[in-house]
Amino acid sequence: MRTTVTIDNGLLAQAKELAARSHRTLSSVLEDALRETLARQAATSDRPGVSIPVGGSADDRPLVDILDREALADALGDNGFLDPAT
């Protein structure tokens, strides 16, 4: 299908150079670039979102001192894993 688009001159020059180097048409280079962009967009939109709960205030006392390795391991239930003696 034929269509008309406006493309930045520098970008068009790079696409033409790539087409010439790879012995392809400009159309095939642009089609591949568009396919790749659309596939990447579809892949990222299929990912589930991540929600990080936030609460409390700056005045709240932390439940665990994250600088205390043993206390952090206990809170995570990983004390045996992090302790090389066990």
Residue-wise pLDDT for 14-62, tens only, equals 999 999 999 999 999 999 999 999 998 887 776 677 776 667 676 777 7
Distance between CA atoms of residues 15 and 59, nearest Å: 56
List the domain boundaries for the chain.
9-45
* Alpha-carbon span 67 to 12, nearest angstrom: 53
φ, ψ of residue 58 in degrees (nearest 5): -65, -20
Is the pTM for the entire model greater than 0.75? no
Quickly list H helices, the chain: 9-21, 26-45, 69-76, 79-82
Q: Which two tokens stand for residue 65?
A: 């001192």
Dihedral-angle region of residue 56 (phi above 0 means left; psi in -120 to 50 means alpha; beta otherwise): left
The pLDDT of residue 54: 67
User: What would the mean pLDDT of 55-80 be, rounded to a whole number?
Assistant: 76
Q: How much is the pLDDT for 68?
A: 86
Look at residue 24 in the predicted model and tell me its pLDDT. 97
Where is pLDDT greater, at 73 or 59? 73
How many residues are recorded in the chain? 86
Confidence class for position 71, pLDDT limits 50, 70, 90 = confident
Structure tokens at 36: 């790749």
